[in-house]
Structure 1
C-alpha cells in the first residue's frame, strides 16, 4: 500500500487549488496579480495562501517596489518552494524504462535508465520498482510520495488500467494498483503523449494558452489536446488520436486495423519500410536512409516528403476541427525534421482552413527523459485529485 504523506500541500478547496496552481505555473506572482488572473478577491487569495506558506509549499519573496500613480505599498510575490516535495516519473518503452525525480515545478533532479528485457507484466512491475528504489535512494525518499507512469496506448487514468498497449502486448492490466503495492508510492498512470502534454501545459509552451495541441512523431504518431485549460480525454479516453486519422484510401494497412492512417505512412517504422522499398535494399537502416536523403538521394527524399505530407494533413485536420492557439510538434522523429519540414508546412498551409492556418507550429525534439518528466508532472497533478477537494 502507498505510504502516508503527512503535511502535504493543503489543497482542500477549489480556491486553494486555483491559487496554488497559479503560483506553481506562473509564479513568482503577487497576491494582487493572483486575484486579477483568477477572479478571486484579494482576501480569498490571502486566506488560501496562508496554509501553503505554513506548510512550506509557498514562500514570500522580498518586496517589489511598485511604481506609477496609485501604486500603493510594495508587493511581496508568492513563489513555490520547489524542493518541498519530490515526484518520481517513469516512461515505459518497448525496450527501456526511463526514470526521473523532479521537484514541484517538474525540474529534473536526477535520472536513470533500465533496459527492459521482457514484457511480462510481473517482470515490468519488478523492474520498475527496482528503478524507483534506486532513484529514491539518491536522497529523495523522505519527501517523495507519488509516482507518475507514462505508457503508450489506451490508458484509463481514473482506474489505473492499461486497456491496450500495442508495444507491450498488454490488455486490461491494473498497472497502477500493482505499482502502488510494489513501490509504496501513490501511482498515477497516463498515456505517454497526454503526460507530455501536461508538462507542456503547466511548465512549457502551453503556459498561458487556453488551448493548444501536442503532436508526437516517432515510433507512433500521437497527439493530446488541451481546451480551456483542461486536457481532453473524450468519452473513451482516446481523444486526439490523429495518428489514426485515415488520409489515403489506398494507403498501407495500419496496425490498428485501419487503412491509410497517418501513422501507417509517417511513423519511424513506416518510413523505414518505404525507404527500403524505394532503395531496393531490405537491409537498409534508418541511419543510412537519413544520411543518404540528406546527401541528395532523390528516391529517399521523396519518402520523407511523403511522410511530411501525411503529417501536414494530420496537423491540418487537427487545427480545422479544434482550432488551438498553437501546436507543439515533438518526439524522437523530429530529429530528422529537416527532411520533411518544408512538405509539412506546405501541406499544412494548403489544407488548414482560413484563419486556422495562423496557428503557430512549435517544433522541438525531446529526449525520453522529458517524457518521464511528463509522467512526474502527472504525479504533481495528483495533489489536485477531486477527493481532496
Structure 2
C-alpha cells in the first residue's frame, strides 16, 4: 500500500492533483486543470491510477457536468475511508487524541490527563491513547501526528524547546514511533492547526493567511504562496516574541523583555491581575469575572494585553501581508475583554491598506488542535 501510494504521488503533478481534490473536492477535471495550471491530459493521467488504487472516486450522483466537446464529467472526490490517521495534541495537563479519515474528519476522540510531564511518561501515555483510539480503524491506521507548543524541528522530529512541558531536545518522533509502531510526524501545535485550516477550514483557497492563537501562549503561523512557512530556523511567525515593550517590559520565559507573550499570555495576565487586585489566589476565571464586574485595575490588565496582541498582529501583517488573519485559542473566553484594544492597536499600527486585513475570530476546541496534528500527518504523505 505504501509503495503504491509513493508511486502514485511521485510526481509534482500527481501531488498537485490529489491535494486539489482533497481540499476542494468534489471537483471536476476541468476545474482541477484550472486550479493547478495543468493540462487536461496531465490531469487525466494523474487521476486514473489514483482511482484504480482506491484513493479517488468518481461520484455518480447528481447531474453530470459537460466537459469540453460534449464529454460528460463526473466530480472527483477523495475516498475518505481509504486510510486513517491519529492526531495527538499535547498540553501541560492533557493529551487530546483523535482518529481522522483522509479528509481530516474526526471519527473518534478521547482525552487523558498528563500526570508526569517527563518525555518518557508522555510517550507511554501517547501509546496508551493510541491503543484506546484505534481498535476499530487499526488495520488502516499507520500514521500519527503529534503537536506540542514551542520550537519544533518537524524535519528531524525533535522538540527543541517546549516551555509548558519543560522539554529541551526531545527526539519525540523517534520515541513515539518506537512506542506505537506508527510513522510519526511532529509539529508545533499552532502550525499544525494552521495546516488543518489551510486544507479544510478558513484558509481553503487563500494564497496567504495567518493563524494567531491567544491563550497559555501567543502563537502564530503563516501560509505564504500556498505553503506553510517554517523559516530558516523553524520558528517563523512567532509573534508572541515580538517586543512591544522592550527595555522596561516584563521578562519573558524566553529570556527577553517586553515580548507580546510576557504581557498577553494567560500566565502573564493572571500574574498582573493578582498584583492589581491584591489577591494572590486569583485565577484566570476570577480575573475575567473581576474585569466584567467593573474592577478597573484588572480591566486595565486585559486592555494592555489586547494592545500588545494588536501590535504583534500589525507587525506581522506589515511584514508578511496575509489576505486574512484567523484568531483562535483557548484565550477567546476572554476575547470580549480585549477585542476592542486588539482592533484599535492593529488598525493604528498596520501600514496603509494592510489595516483592511480582516481579523476572523474562530473558537476551536482542543479536539480541533488534535485534528491539526492528524492533518500534518496527512500533509506529510500527500503534499509535494
Instruction: Bin the TM-score by the shorter chain.
Output: over 0.9
**Who is 1:202 aligned against?**
199
In 2: Cα distance, 1:20 partner to 1:65 partner: 21
How far is 1:385 from its partner? Answer: 6.5
Alpha-carbon distance change, 320 to 344 in structure 1, aligned in 2, over 3 angstroms: same
| Residue 352 (structure 2) aligns with | 354
Match of 2:160 among 156, 159, 163: 163
Name which of 308, 319, 322 aligns with 2:320.
322
Of 45, 57, 60, the match for 1:59: 57
Mapping for residues 2-17 of structure 1, pairs under 5 Å: 5=2, 7-8=4-5, 10-17=8-15
* Runs ≥4 residues deviating over 6 A: none
CA–CA distance in structure 2, aligned partners of residues 316 and 385 of structure 1 = 30
Q: Where do 1:131-170 residues align within 5 Å?
A: 131-137=129-135, 139-170=136-167
Distance 2:347 2:159 in 1: 37
**Cα distance in structure 1, aligned partners of 2:180 and 2:370:** 17
Once the 2 structures are TM-superposed, how far is the Cα of residue 71 of structure 1 from its aligned partner? 7.3
Matches within 5 A, 1:42-53: 42-53=40-51
Q: Distance in 2 between matches of 1:286 and 1:179?
A: 33
Assess, with a 3 A threshold, how the Cα gap between structure 1 residues 67 and 32 changes in structure 2: closer, same or farther.
closer
Q: What is the aligned counterpart of 1:309 among 307, 310, 323?
A: 307
Match for residue 210 of structure 2 among 202, 210, 213 = 213
Number of aligned positions between the proteins: 381
Per-residue CA shift, 1:318-371, capped at 9, x if unaligned? Answer: 100110000011100012111111111111111110011111111112111111
TM normalised by structure 1 equals 0.95
- Paired residue for 1:193? 190
Runs of 5+ consecutive residues of structure 2 not aligned to the other structure = none
Partner Cα separation in structure 1 for residue 120 and residue 161 of structure 2 = 17
1:83 CA drift (Å): 1.1
Q: Is the 8 A contact 1:64 1:75 kept in 2?
A: no
Equivalent position SS for 2:340: helix
Preserved contact between residue 29 and residue 43 of structure 2 (Cα < 8 Å)? yes
Distance 1:218 1:58 in 2: 39
Q: 1:133 to 1:258 in 2, by over 3 A?
A: same
- Cα offset, 1:64, TM superposition: 3.4
Q: Distance in 2 between matches of 1:385 and 1:175?
A: 22
Check 1:233–1:310 CA distance in 2 against 1; reply closer, same or farther (3 A cut).
same
Separation in 2, partners of 1:110, 1:231: 27
Q: Tell me the TM-score normalised to structure 2 length.
A: 0.96
- What residue in structure 2 maps to residue 176 of structure 1? 173
Quick one: distance in 2 between partners of 1:206 and 1:84?
A: 24
Residue deviations 1:14-36 (CA, integer Å, cap 9, x gap): 11100000000001100011011
**1:247 paired residue number:** 244
> Which shows bigger deviation, 234-243 or 9-18?
9-18
Q: CA deviation at 1:384?
A: 2.9
Looking at structure 2, the residues matched to 374 and 89 of structure 1 have their Cα atoms a distance apart, in angstroms, of 7
CA-to-partner distance for each residue in 1:63-122, whole Å, 9 max, x for gaps? 634489x77333211011111111000011112111000111111111111111112221
Question: 2:224 maps to which residue?
Answer: 227
Per-residue CA distance 1:118-161 (angstroms, 9 max, x = gap): 12221111111111111111x01011110000011111111111
Task: Tell me how far apart the structure 2 counterparts of residues 65 and 128 of structure 1 sit (CA, whole Å).
Answer: 46
Q: Please say if residues 246 and 262 of structure 1, whose CA atoms lie closer than 8 Å, have aligned partners that are also in contact.
A: yes
1:5 deviates by 4.4
User: 1:383: which partner in 2?
Assistant: 381
Query: Per-residue displacement from partner, 1:245-266 (whole Å, max 9, x unpaired)?
Result: 1101211100101111000000
SS of 2:360 mapped into structure 1: strand
1:152-210 C-alpha deviation (Å, 9 max, x unpaired): 11111111111111112211111101111111110000011111111011111111111
Instruction: Provide the C-alpha distance between the structure 1 equivalents of 2:359 and 2:69, rounded to a whole number of angstroms.
Output: 39
Q: Distance in 2 between matches of 1:343 and 1:84?
A: 47
Work out which of the residue numbers 79, 83, 86 in structure 1 matches 2:84.
Answer: 86
Unaligned segments of structure 1, at least 5 residues: none
Query: Which residue in the other structure is 2:362 paired with?
Result: 364
